[in-house]
């Protein structure tokens, strides 16, 4: 029975660096003994002197703790994965809480190479201690160039960690100014920054964090006209944008320039992270060849997001970026990592290079950059009838028999809603069609007009003909009709 054993980093010095080893065995104890036979140095870490598996070594079979199975007599079968999980006490000046390891196997401090200054040795000492970094790795980081596209929720932890780690040149692309509503998640900015250009504020904070990193500001939008020039000066591109057109542009330009992209995206409590590199694996368009219709997917401004979510996903992107630059570990290339914050769980899916990919296949149908706004349907005429805030105001004042349906979430409805409107959250619409009549003159309302446009489309598909969408949502109502309503 061949089983796979995943070796934790702390024990890899005994397996000649191998992250996993295949052994024969029909129980956990047999498999571990086979492992210890092959790598003698492991024996005393895994077994007591009388030959039992040590109590502080946690072993999992296919992600289940053997203490809840049959302990060391737990049977294993071909294809099973056994995982050795040491207890780790990191986070503070700790070491691996592995009694024998912390004493014997602490990585030897690399001898100071002439290239690193005293200040650098001090600043980067905690990562210089890692054999995967060391002085040579730190040199690589100091010589590397990373472009972060988007300095928002994902871009904040990304830029902070990459600058802190000593990435030599850090380029940032953004056109926005700091808004109060950014501060809840965009930890690169502070309250006094509100109203300032994001990149100006970012540069100040990143310089204060690590003055030796060259911060390059690319104020403005990434466009098909400037993408090649902008990206070509960098080794790795990190996608921290918040919209589909820029994501497709970042992907296509990186494919054509043969550069890796570290991708991250969030939706409410969920996130995705992966690495795209068309030279050796898939690209974004192998995964999603075409964008969803505009307005189908709510943005953070519409959908809401908890600040730690981009913190987690952006930090994972920073980790992948550093691994690519160092050439260490296994990146997420070919694996899409899904995170669910509500259950705090990860799920992994394999992503293959698509033989039909429009841009990275051997026979691409697209060989240059295109108009990504048009590609994603942004600015395209709306698919159904709309009503402006002012028109709606006129009709309500004239006591026209319109039925206002607010498709936001109940919490948003509580913050503010149009008088007389009724709440049917978009997700419940399908189940509550009975509450609406096809004879009524319906006007659908949300915060920005995207969710209600989608809901209008859905109602039309269900046979409702008199459906109009409030153009620009309540934000437009606040701008054009009643500035006193709370904006959120």
Residues in contact with other proteins by the rule CB under 8 A: 150, 152-155, 239-244, 247, 264-268, 270, 272, 287-288, 290-293, 296-297, 299-300, 303, 305, 310, 338, 340, 343, 347-352, 354-356, 426-431, 454, 457-458, 461-462
**What is the maximal distance between C-alpha atoms in the chain?**
90
Nearest to 23 by CA among 40, 38, 41: 38
Q: CB of 50: closest distance to other proteins in angstroms?
A: 40
Q: Which is nearer to other proteins, 354 or 366 (CB)?
A: 354
Active site residues: 300, 446
Q: Which is nearer to other proteins, 109 or 349 (CB)?
A: 349
Q: CB of 335: closest distance to other proteins in angstroms?
A: 9
Q: CB of 352: closest distance to other proteins in angstroms?
A: 6
Q: CB of 370: closest distance to other proteins in angstroms?
A: 17
Q: Which is nearer to other proteins, 42 or 202 (CB)?
A: 202
Q: CB of 192: closest distance to other proteins in angstroms?
A: 24
Burial of 432 (0-12, 13-18, 19+ CB in 10 A): exposed
Contacts for 461 with CB less than 8 Å, ≥ 6 apart: none
Q: Which is nearer to other proteins, 133 or 154 (CB)?
A: 154
Q: Which is nearer to other proteins, 180 or 431 (CB)?
A: 431
In degrees and rounded to multiples of 5, residue 5 shows phi and psi of -115, 120
CA dihedral 403→407→411→415, nearest 10 degrees, is -50
Containing H/E element for 456? helix 450-461
Q: CB of 244: closest distance to other proteins in angstroms?
A: 5
| Secondary structure class of 276 (helix, strand, coil) | strand
Q: Report the alpha-carbon distance of residue 275 to residue 334 in Å, rounded.
A: 7
Contact by Cβ (8 Å): 328, 132: yes
Angle at 422 between CA 421 and CA 426, to 5 degrees: 115
3-state SS track over 402-428: EEEEECCCHHHHHHCCCCCCEECCHHH
Alpha helices, DSSP H, located in 47-197 = 99-104, 118-123, 125-128, 134-142, 155-165
Q: Report the alpha-carbon distance of residue 178 to residue 152 in Å, rounded.
A: 9
Q: Which is nearer to other proteins, 60 or 244 (CB)?
A: 244
């Amino acid at each position: 029975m061949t089983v796979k054993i995943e070796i934790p980093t702390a024990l890899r010095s005994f397996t000649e660096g191998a992250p996993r080893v295949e052994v024969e065995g029909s129980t956990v104890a047999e498999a571990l003994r086979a492992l210890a036979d092959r790598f003698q140095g492991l024996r005393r870490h895994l077994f007591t002197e009388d030959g039992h598996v040590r109590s502080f070594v946690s072993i999992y079979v296919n992600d289940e703790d053997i203490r809840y199975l049959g302990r060391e007599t737990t049977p294993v079968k071909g294809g099973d994965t056994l995982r050795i999980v040491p207890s780790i006490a990191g986070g503070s000046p700790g070491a691996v809480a592995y009694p024998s390891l912390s004493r014997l196997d602490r990585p030897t401090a690399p001898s100071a190479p002439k290239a690193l200054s005293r200040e650098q040795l001090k600043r980067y000492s905690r990562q210089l201690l890692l054999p995967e970094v060391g002085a040579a790795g730190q040199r690589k980081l100091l010589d590397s160039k990373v472009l972060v596209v988007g300095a928002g929720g994902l871009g904040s932890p990304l830029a902070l960690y990459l600058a802190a780690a000593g990435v030599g040149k850090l380029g940032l692309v953004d056109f926005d100014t700091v808004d109060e509503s950014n501060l809840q998640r965009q930890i690169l900015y502070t309250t006094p920054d509100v109203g300032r250009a994001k990149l100006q504020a970012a540069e100040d904070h990143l310089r204060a964090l690590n003055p030796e990193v060259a911060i390059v500001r690319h104020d403005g939008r990434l466009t098909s006209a400037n993408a090649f020039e902008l990206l070509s000066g960098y080794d790795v591109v990190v996608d921290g944008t918040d919209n589909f057109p820029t994501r497709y542009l970042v992907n296509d330009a990186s494919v054509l320039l043969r550069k890796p992209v570290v991708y991250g995206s969030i939706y409410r409590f969920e996130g995705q992270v992966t690495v795209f590199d068309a030279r050796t694996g898939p690209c974004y368009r192998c995964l999603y060849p075409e964008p969803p219709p505009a307005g189908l997917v709510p943005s953070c401004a519409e959908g809401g997001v908890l600040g730690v979510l981009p913190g987690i996903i952006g930090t994972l992107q920073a980790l992948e970026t550093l691994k690519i630059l160092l050439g260490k570990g296994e990146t997420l290339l070919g694996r899409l990592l899904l995170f669910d914050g509500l259950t705090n769980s990860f799920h992994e899916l394999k992503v293959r290079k698509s033989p039909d990919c429009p841009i990275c296949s051997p026979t691409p149908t697209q060989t240059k950059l295109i108009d990504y706004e048009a590609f994603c349907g942004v600015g395209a005429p709306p698919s159904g009838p709309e009503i402006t805030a002012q028109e709606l105001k006129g009709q309500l004042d004239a006591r026209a028999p319109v039925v206002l349906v607010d498709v936001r979430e109940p919490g948003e409805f509580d913050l503010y809603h149009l008088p007389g409107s009724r709440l049917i959250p978009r997700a419940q619409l399908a189940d509550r069609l009975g509450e609406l009549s096809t004879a009524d003159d319906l006007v659908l309302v949300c915060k920005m007009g995207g969710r209600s446009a989608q809901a209008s489309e859905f109602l039309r598909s269900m046979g409702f003909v008199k459906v109009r969408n409030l153009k620009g949502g309540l934000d437009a109502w606040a701008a054009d009709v009643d500035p006193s309503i709370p904006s959120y």
